[in-house]
Amino acid sequence: MTQAKSVTVQILDKEYCIACPADERANLEGAARYLDGKMREIRASGKVIGADRIAVMAALNISHDLLHKKQRLDQAAEETRESVRDLIERVDQALITHPDEVQG
């Protein structure tokens, strides 16, 4: 198991020191950069004022994107399952209809 070490990230001009396993450091830094970018976009729009509100709006936007992508992945997985079921059914039907051709 990897020992947790402190990693300092900067989000919207503030530094945060976060305990993180060494093998997750790159992921944490990437997540922090992503969040910082989203928060800067929201701040630049001028529609939201205050770091707390900007953070909540960024969290909502990121959550919305995540759920939308999960929904698309779930739909794609279901379509794949249906295709596999259809293929299995076709193979089963071919085995029943032409058993001598399959054995060679």
Give CA separation, 72 vs 60, 68, 81, 82, 101, in Å.
18, 6, 14, 15, 40
Q: What is the pLDDT of residue 1?
A: 53
Domain limits of the chain? Answer: 4-103
Asked which of 2-6, 32-36, 57-61 is least confident by mean pLDDT, the reply is 2-6
Stretch 1-28: mean pLDDT, rounded? Answer: 92
Write the CATH number of the domain with boundaries 4-103.
Answer: 3.30.160.880
Q: Grade residue 2 by pLDDT with cuts at 50, 70 and 90.
A: low
Q: What is the pLDDT of residue 98?
A: 77
